[in-house]
Chain A
Amino acid sequence: MTGTARSAAESGAGEIRCAGRVLVPGEAEGRVLLLRAPVSLWGGVDPASGRISDPRHPDCGVEVAGRVLAVPDTVGSSSSSAVMLELLREGTTPVALLLGRADAIVALGVLVAGELGYATIPVLEVPGEQLARLAERRVTVARDGTVLGR
């Protein structure tokens, strides 16, 4: 394996800058929703409502649509690519995904959306400790993977 995430966070005057590794390029702006536990999109997020739907998940019921979704870890089903595609097709999608660990299953859903001509979102790998510092901040995500939090 090559390409381990290189990411540096600097904080000063309330501003945070991280360099995420780009899995799917794109630009986005929104408020970070940091999930408190790993999630499987299949069985965990409902594309019709854009909400966390796993009753065992501590964030069950929380809306992911329109947020910069920060996921410390993804687990479970290989159907999560398909759920990601449906979130994008339904327009109930987060505006960006920041993953604590690169996950081809989720990223593939976004890449397929691109092949089908749907609007896509940026997907970045950002180390977990930096995700924690971004929680609830308004951030901009740049094409080069820079995440700027205010």
Chain B
Amino acid sequence: MHLSAAERALLNGEGGPAAAMAMRLVAAAGGLLGAERLVEITSAHVDGCLYHGDGGVEFAERLVEGGGRVAVPTTLNVGALDLLHPARVRADAHRAAMARRQMDAYLALGCAPTWTCAPYQVGHRPGLGEQVAWGESNAVVFANSVLGARTERYGDFLDVCCALTGRAPLYGLHLAEHRRATVVVDTSAVRAELKRRPVFYPVLGTWLGLEVGGAVAAVTGLPQDVPEDALKAMGAAAASTGAVGLIHVVGVTPEAPDLETALGGGEPERRIALDGTALRSALDRLSTTRSERVDAVAIGSPHLSLPEARRLRTLVAGRTLRVPFYACTNRAVLGALEDEGAVHDLREAGVDIVVDTCVVVTPILPDGGGVLMTDSGKFAHYGPANTGYDVVYGSLEDCVASAEAGRVIRDEGVWA
């Protein structure tokens, strides 16, 4: 792989040991991905700050000791602790201390303490065609699809190495030729009424990820005014069940004003359609139990935006939630909610606001397991393995009604 003089200088240690290690890893990744060279990036979003074990702490602290400093504006994904509410996470002393050290190390590298999986909703919005290096699978899909920025799916470690060097391997979705859709996804058989409901989009994403795997899809038939939060939910679910990095929504997302443009003038390799059977099967996959029991509700994966949090406030007004109800969001949204006086209302109804992290990446849910209800395709996908809870998927309205009743209530009519 070709390296520029500046890149070779970093490799030779002229930027210090951390930059050298970062450049070794970026160059090695580029080599194994078949990149011919690196590309300069304008920003990074780093997922590596979540504690998975002591190895990740050792890596981050090695970068700090080596004088590491990010070369481009860099936001941070969730950590394993709620730093604003330290008692929230059940962690033994070792885990809590190591998770904190890992978060601190990334701050020491110059990353911004955003602690969110939705950095694109707290002001980090690269523009159309901008080359960036983002981690966190949902954020990757959002940056590529909704913003039209160009990133591959960066994993932990490579994301911060890109941030430290200001470079990413030039391959895959960084290149225009790999951004054209190869699969056309027709949603015209789905009723317009269902497409206006947020509950549809995680189901669409779940099915899409299973169907297209790592291919770029062009989805036709969605409303032109589909909200950003619906696209976020669809992308997060698709990136959970598939290796999805980019979804064009025809007539909506910036690289897909029409189908021909999304296809880059070429012919698709495959055309698929979402029919009633497939929709039902994807919906059913999101629940692992048919029990009426509900022990906790969790929403906010990806983190709630301000409009989503406001919708929750409206829905819980005047109600008392009888089971633990966790709403995961970030500091920026929490601050805005505080300014609106909404935090008091939400807590009064029984909503627990979790920030900096979420209930599926770190132990927050009550010990002992049970049934977790959610309106998030991503929570429904990862919940069982990561929390030990069974999951039931429903709309936000279903989640609130169920939490109030203490048993699962789902509006099945919308799927009829």
Contact = CB atoms under 8 A, between A and B. Distances in A.
* A-B complex is real: yes
A76 B137 contact: yes
Interface in A59-89: 73-83, 85-86, 88-89
A44 interface: yes
Q: Which of B47, B136, B155 has the most chain A CB atoms inside 10 A of its CB?
A: B155
A73 B244 CA distance: 12
Given A82-B56, A116-B58, A105 B32 contact: no
Contacts of B62: 115-116
Contacts of B158: 81, 104-105, 108
Interface residues of A, number: 46
A56 B34 CA distance: 33
A109 B156 CA distance: 8
Given A76-B241, A79-B50, A86-B52, A112 B34 contact: no
A104 B29 CA distance: 6
Interface in A22-54: 23-24, 38, 40, 42-44, 47, 53-54
Given A43-B382, A76-B240, A107-B32, A81 B155 contact: yes
Given A76-B239, A89-B55, A108 B36 contact: no
B156 to A, nearest CB: 4
Given A24-B32, A101-B214, A111-B29, A78 B159 contact: yes
B21 A85 contact: no
Interface size class on chain B is 35 or more
B386 interface: yes
A3 interface: yes
A90 B53 CA distance: 9
Main secondary structure of the interface of B (DSSP, over half): helix
A23 B32 contact: yes
Interface string B24-38: 110011001111100
A1 B171 contact: yes
A102 B28 CA distance: 13
A14 interface: no
A41 to B, nearest CB: 10
Nearest to B209: A75
B156 A47 contact: no
A85 B55 contact: yes
Contacts of A40: 240
Given A2-B36, A55-B288, A115-B24, A82 B50 contact: yes
Nearest to B139: A78
Contacts of B243: 38, 73-76
A113 interface: yes
A116 B55 contact: yes
A79 B155 contact: yes
Contacts of B385: 43-44, 53-56
Interface string B115-130: 0000000000000000
Nearest to A5: B34
Given A78-B155, A82-B52, A82-B157, A111 B28 contact: yes
Contact of B25 (A1, A55, A74, A108): A108
Contacts of B32: 23-24, 102, 104, 107
A107 B153 CA distance: 13
Nearest to A107: B32
Contacts of A77: 137, 240, 382
A108 B155 contact: yes
Given A43-B382, A80-B155, A104-B32, A85 B53 contact: yes
A112 B157 contact: yes
B388 to A, nearest CB: 9
Contact of A115 (B21, B240, B381): B21
Given A77-B137, A79-B155, A108-B155, A113 B55 contact: yes
Contacts of B169: 104
A82 B24 contact: no
Interface in B28-70: 28-29, 32-36, 47-48, 50, 52-56, 58-59, 62
B154 interface: yes
A75 B29 contact: no
A2 B137 contact: no
B384 A56 contact: yes
Nearest to A45: B385
Given A78-B153, A78-B156, A116 B59 contact: yes
Contacts of B54: 89
Nearest to A81: B155
21 contacts: A3-B34, A43-B386, A53-B385, A54-B385, A56-B384, A73-B213, A75-B209, A77-B240, A78-B135, A78-B140, A78-B156, A85-B59, A88-B55, A90-B53, A104-B169, A106-B155, A108-B157, A109-B155, A115-B59, A115-B62, A116-B59
| A-B pairs, 8 with minimum CB distance | A105-B155, A81-B155, A86-B53, A3-B34, A82-B52, A85-B55, A82-B156, A81-B156
Given A56-B385, A111-B29, 14 more contacts: A3-B34, A40-B240, A55-B288, A73-B243, A76-B239, A76-B241, A78-B159, A81-B157, A82-B55, A105-B156, A108-B25, A109-B156, A112-B59, A115-B24
